[in-house]
Chain A
């Protein structure tokens, strides 16, 4: 999808991180901190989609399957077995990674690519949604409520800003992974697979195992996102954590920001959060923000296949030096 390098000096990365660190102190109102948490949360799960969908070209329509696996893994452990959610966090990464391994193993072995891979992930998500809706341990359609016991040791920060910095750490890690993919041999192999799988195989790249690795990594990040989500909202149900909406949002923030770029998901996520908060405050019409976002997706595919980040770079480059 994108081919131009992304020349961001390390000062750029530091500057972006510094702005993110100062944000909750400049805008300390609960509304703005909540905005920050949601924007970073979407940036994180968007990056989970992006490292498989953008960097490796393994487009997925059901990425929520990893998210939901992580959300249920940590929440079931906590609610049913009293396991501390801080332990649930790595468990949710393992759960997401395992689901990634399973789906990847089956689909890549069967040679599914492109649209077919996208559709089968959707079917897997739907299958897990139905299972979560039907068995007892997940609480069925009623979902699972996490009892509110605010304390840091319990993963429930008494101040919202605690969640903000936790998700900021997670986003930083995910962006570090994306930077590593940009510069590593592994990332280059994934890019080769994305551009032309047969040619990549001819070059001696083990396509199956590279694709499997990236889907496991992507799934693990998605699982962590699910754990964070459950702890922030203290409630999950099959439609919320296995429904189509989250899959679509993950894909949208990456595609609109710039699929296969380091900062694409962050840019897309800030925009998504801004549009949806503005739409909610100004009009209170349900659905308006996603109409705008769906329309943007069409425009991006049509005119800016490398996403908004491309536009930003073009604009900044045009300036005379």
Chain B
């Protein structure tokens, strides 16, 4: 096989993997702090993508500009969801909260089906078909832009968690709930903020995905397994893990498509997910727990 094709597949995989990283960073943050598995992650992303779609159709807002609206809006949605629904039940068995988020995803998905029907929608912007040349290789411009913004946002998020006061409180709560409460941190507020930030990353991811992907009420299904794979691959709760995991999953998908064809090629993600859970459940970077 021509090496150009291989390199091009690898780089394209990495570009998409960068966005997966962003989607998964929200999931891993929510897991790391709240210790809950947010099964509604995919459907919340789907909802965000419909938001981006309608901002473009109704207000002619460029998807990248929409980020200024989508990120705070999704943060608010996440915060309210936590306060109104998830927080009330997150203390019980972990299966229960998994079932609550499953219920939430069923409701969101079918609401989308009611209002938007089952059709698949894509958007076209001026630069949709613009290509970036790199020697003999060609890349779609929106993919390149989305990749760099995703990486930038991941870095900003990491910095925020590391340096800001709220970030420090989040890390304290993630490490030791009781201790955090004892030093005067409002743990419940930190939970809501963390869930809000986790959902806000989906708002950003929705803006980055819309120019290169499609949306339908079932889009959430596509991403929920991808996001979980990235997270278990990197280790639940690990940020660095999410970055590496996202890139690996992107590469897997790209090479799977190249070597196994479009249909069978998708098997790589579920296969990685199964193998990691069976043989290295702590992930590549997680500590054994």
> Which A residues lie at the B interface, using CB under 8 A?
57, 59, 61, 106-107, 110-112, 114-116, 118-120, 122-124, 126-127, 130-131, 133-134, 140-141, 244, 248, 251-252, 255, 285-288, 290-291, 293-295, 297-298, 301-302, 305
Q: Cβ of B103: which chain A residues have Cβ within 8 Å of it?
A: 294-295, 297-298, 301
Contact A294 to B99, CB < 8 A, known contacts A120-B273, A127-B267, A285-B114 = no
B270: Cβ under 8 A from any A Cβ: yes
Q: How far is the CA of A293 from the CA of B105 in the complex (A)?
A: 12
Contact A126 to B225, CB < 8 A, known contacts A120-B273, A248-B106, A290-B110 = yes
Q: How far is the CA of A111 from the CA of B278 in the complex (A)?
A: 8
A127: which of B107, B270, B278 is its contact (CB, 8 Å)?
B270
Contact A294 to B98, CB < 8 A, known contacts A115-B37, A130-B264 = no
B254-289 vs A, Cβ < 8 Å mask (1 yes, 0 no): 000000110110110011011001110100000000
Q: CB distance A288 to B110 under 8 Å?
A: yes
Q: What are 12 A-B pairs with beta-carbon distances under 8 A?
A: A107-B278, A114-B93, A115-B94, A120-B274, A123-B274, A134-B260, A290-B110, A291-B106, A294-B105, A294-B106, A301-B99, A302-B100
Q: How far is the CA of A248 from the CA of B94 in the complex (A)?
A: 18
Q: CB distance A130 to B117 under 8 Å?
A: no
Q: Which residue of chain A lies nearest to B279 when distances are taken between CB atoms in the complex?
A: A110
B88-116 vs A, Cβ < 8 Å mask (1 yes, 0 no): 11000111101110111111011111100
The 3 A-B residue pairs with the shortest CB-CB distance in the complex, in nearest-first order: A294-B106, A287-B113, A287-B110
Q: Cβ of A115: which chain B residues have Cβ within 8 Å of it?
A: 37, 94-95, 98
Q: Report which residue of B99, B111, B112, B118 has the largest number of chain A beta carbons within 10 angstroms of its beta carbon.
A: B99
B85: Cβ under 8 A from any A Cβ: yes
Q: Report which residue of B88, B112, B277 has the largest number of chain A beta carbons within 10 angstroms of its beta carbon.
A: B277
B217: Cβ under 8 A from any A Cβ: yes
B228: Cβ under 8 A from any A Cβ: yes
Nearest CB of chain A from residue B258's CB, rounded to whole Å: 15
B232-270 vs A, Cβ < 8 Å mask (1 yes, 0 no): 000000000000000000000000000011011011001
* A contact face: mostly helix, strand, loop, or mixed: helix
Nearest CB of chain B from residue A159's CB, rounded to whole Å: 33
Q: CB distance A122 to B225 under 8 Å?
A: yes
Q: Which of B2-46 contact A (CB under 8 A)?
A: 37, 39
B221: Cβ under 8 A from any A Cβ: yes
Q: Which residue of chain A lies nearest to B236 when distances are taken between CB atoms in the complex?
A: A116
Q: CB distance A255 to B274 under 8 Å?
A: no
Q: CB distance A127 to B274 under 8 Å?
A: yes
Q: Which residue of chain A lies nearest to B229 when distances are taken between CB atoms in the complex?
A: A123
Q: CB distance B88 to A298 under 8 Å?
A: no
Q: How far is the CA of A112 from the CA of B279 in the complex (A)?
A: 11
Q: Which residue of chain B lies nearest to A248 when distances are taken between CB atoms in the complex?
A: B106
Q: CB distance A295 to B99 under 8 Å?
A: no
Q: Which residue of chain B lies nearest to A294 when distances are taken between CB atoms in the complex?
A: B106
Nearest CB of chain A from residue B206's CB, rounded to whole Å: 21
B266: which of A59, A61, A119, A130 is its contact (CB, 8 Å)?
A130
Q: CB distance B110 to A294 under 8 Å?
A: yes
Q: CB distance B277 to A110 under 8 Å?
A: yes
Q: How far is the CA of A248 from the CA of B102 in the complex (A)?
A: 9
Q: How far is the CA of A106 from the CA of B102 in the complex (A)?
A: 25
Q: Cβ of A301: which chain B residues have Cβ within 8 Å of it?
A: 89, 96, 99-100, 103
Q: How far is the CA of A297 from the CA of B110 in the complex (A)?
A: 14
Q: CB distance B37 to A297 under 8 Å?
A: no
Q: How far is the CA of A106 from the CA of B275 in the complex (A)?
A: 10
Q: CB distance A131 to B264 under 8 Å?
A: yes
